[in-house]
Amino acid sequence: MDNRPIGIFDSGIGGLTIAKELHRVLPNESMLYFGDTAHLPYGDKSPETIIGYSIAITDFLLKNNCKAILIACNSASSTAYDDVLKRVPEGMPVFNVIDPLISYISKRFHAEKVGVIGTRATIGSHVYLNRTREADPSIILVEKSTALLAAMIEEGFHDNDISQAVIQAYLEDSRFEGIKALVPACTHYPLIADEISTYFKHQVEIVDAPNIIAEQVKTALAEKNILGNSSEANLHFMVSDLTASFQKSAAIFFGEKVSLEEKRLVQ
């Protein structure tokens, strides 16, 4: 057993949806979450810049004795994963939010049509399209940038007429006709998963990204015999720029009141 914390980082607070599910699946694990709110969104940054931010945060998490690193950000996962992996001690688990989803859909939707929605940067990188083709060329994968959704959710517009109208405007795209599943490739989107499912009349599987990722982490830590068994897990949440808006949104994303601490990293 190993009661050191799991280090989690994101460009902002959206990754708290992953942290929330990880805490549900692994309630005895301590976590140190770092949201780089001073530099969001990563999707508008160059690969070199994203890598630089990711390495700085990784170094911070390592200094705080984390036993594993989870990159809870699609942009950083697609751009900086290999660099983070090189930065950590040999054998330390490093997770991203893309590979578990590719593995899931490739095993479950052979020769089927699958949709992916995400930010402009994530969709523009075609990371899901390219990796799905490598894993199972029989899958027909269609992508769409849904750039307004993340901002809409952060502003508190979900489960209302406004969110339903925006969701419909994006998903009525004819390319989504006949899909068996939809991958929400943004950590904000679990908050509107029910609304998306309702739009598809509950006939399309909305891939549960937080659960799939959390279960992968659980399995990997168990295999390495480093699961925690703390009776009082320590949940520590940090951001690089603290505002009242981030504090309010953090509670929405994590599902309960969250106390954020500001920590500016020197790069």
Catalytic (active site) residue 186: yes
User: Residue 222's pLDDT is what?
Assistant: 97
Asked if residues 253 and 20 have their Cβ atoms less than 8 Å apart, the reply is yes
Distance from C-alpha of 189 to C-alpha of 149, rounded to nearest angstrom: 8
Catalytic (active site) residue 66: no
Distance from C-alpha of 176 to C-alpha of 156, rounded to nearest angstrom: 26
From residue 156, give the alpha-carbon distance in Å to each of 42, 192, 203: 21, 11, 27
DSSP reduced 3-state for 197: helix
Q: Which domains does the chain have, with CATH numbers?
A: 6-96+211-262 (3.40.50.1860), 99-209 (3.40.50.1860)
User: Residue 266's pLDDT is what?
Assistant: 62
Asked if residues 153 and 180 have their Cβ atoms less than 8 Å apart, the reply is no
Active-site residue, selected from the candidate residues 121, 149, 186, 250: 186
Contacts of 119 (CB under 8 A, 6+ apart): 41, 43, 74, 75, 145, 146, 147, 150, 185, 186
Residue whose C-alpha is closest to residue 105's, from 141, 74, 72: 141
Pairing mode, strands 260-262 and 205-206 = unpaired
Residue whose C-alpha is closest to residue 240's, from 59, 49, 57, 70: 57
From residue 211, give the alpha-carbon distance in Å to each of 18, 108, 190, 206, 207: 8, 16, 10, 12, 9
Residue whose C-alpha is closest to residue 53's, from 33, 31, 75, 68: 75
Residues 23-70 pLDDT 10s? 999 999 999 999 999 998 887 788 999 999 999 999 999 999 999 999
Query: Angle formed by the axes of helices 16-25 and 209-223, to 10°?
Result: 50
Question: For the chain, which residues score pLDDT lower than 70?
Answer: 266-267
Active-site residue, selected from the candidate residues 69, 73, 141, 204: 73
Distance from C-alpha of 44 to C-alpha of 50, rounded to nearest angstrom: 9
Residues 209-239 pLDDT 10s? 999 999 999 999 999 999 999 888 899 999 9
The structure tokens listed for 206 are: 């909305």
The distance of Cα 30 from the centroid of its chain, to the nearest Å, equals: 18
Burial 115-143 (b: 16+ CB within 10 A, else e): bbbbbebbbebebbeebbeeebeebbbbb
Q: Residue 209, CB half-sphere, CA atoms under 13 Å: how many?
A: 31
Distance from C-alpha of 72 to C-alpha of 51, rounded to nearest angstrom: 14
